[in-house]
Amino acid sequence: MITGITVTRLRRAAAVAVTSGALVATGALTAAPAQAVTAPSIVAKGGYLMNNANNSTLYVKNADGRLSTGSTTKIMTAKVVLAQPNLNLDAKVEIKKIYSDYVVRNNASLAHLIVGDQVTVRQLLYGLMLPSGCDAAYALADKFGSGSTTAARVKSFVGKMNSAAAALHLQNTHFDSFDGIGNGNNYSTPRDLTKIASSAMKNATFRAVVKTKTYTATTKTKSGGTRTMAPWKNTNGLLGSYSGTIGVKTGSGPEAKYCLVFAATRNGKTVIGTVLASSSIAQREADAKRMMSYGFARLG
């Protein structure tokens, strides 16, 4: 015989069971494992993304395939400069005609440096990384290489770039130029370039440069006056289109296609990665955004 008290107890038990079931269901939804996030498809021939905190891999596509690097090479150029002992960022470098002739001859990206001007090392780093100035790269290689001639100093500087790659234990990277305009033997991989960038980002000056959208340099002219350069604009479109972006460097070329080394920080977590040989400027940025969003979703 079911009494009123029994009915009440049964109803309470059913309510508890329903509530518990709801809690279990809710818990299952909110505790979805990070690895359940679907990896994106990218157009680039190669891609790699890692958690910058512990170098753990978050995404791979042909991560160790050797590809042309274009101007992402300049990350190593900057890294080598910033590693020089007793570096004076305010030291002045005179711009030589050979630098100007070089960019004209190669139809290269440039910072529009003026022959005879005195430009500081710090300014050259901005000219190197924002507008991707091959003239700035040449000036830095000439300044920080060793030797009695410009050619010898440039060769020495490229040697330092390769030594820096070896110090990072990179097996699939080789540089034959200071700016990515190589002689057929300038290559790296998405994984290696990401490691180079991660290492470079440990330097405060490098971090400050690569997150800057625009920079205006005031140089000394050969007549002793000052020149205010046209603003250098960062070629990395992610700085204005992907929240949390903190760098790093674009690259392009007939062989390299469209490349991008990138990094972003959200909720105290930083991801850093590379895409090589994408199909356009817009596509390399889309590839990078998909990869970073996937990485942040995995990190939670």
Mind telling me the catalytic residues?
Answer: 71, 74, 132
CA–CA gap between residue 190 and residue 63 (Å, rounded): 5
- Listed in sequence order, the residues at least 6 apart from 131 whose beta carbon sits closer than 8 Å to its beta carbon are 109, 110, 111, 112, 232, 233, 234, 235
Question: Phi and psi dihedrals of 265, rounded to 5?
Answer: -125, 130
Backbone angles phi, psi at 73, to 5 degrees: -50, -35
Q: Which residue has the tokens 């002992």?
A: 85
Instruction: From residue 117, give the alpha-carbon distance in Å to each of 90, 229, 289.
Output: 14, 11, 39
Residue with tokens 């274009």: 70
> Which residue type is seen at 153?
R
Q: Which of 24, 20, 73, 11 is CA-nearest to residue 249?
A: 73
Give start and end residues of each alpha helix (H) in 83-232.
97-105, 121-129, 134-144, 150-167, 190-200, 204-210
* Beta-carbon contacts of residue 295 (< 8 Å; ≥ 6 apart): 49, 51, 58, 59, 271, 273
* Beta bridge partner(s), residue 61: 47
- Residue whose tokens read 């070629």: 235
Could you give the CA distance from residue 97 to residue 121 in angstroms, rounded to a whole number? 18
DSSP type of residue 54: T
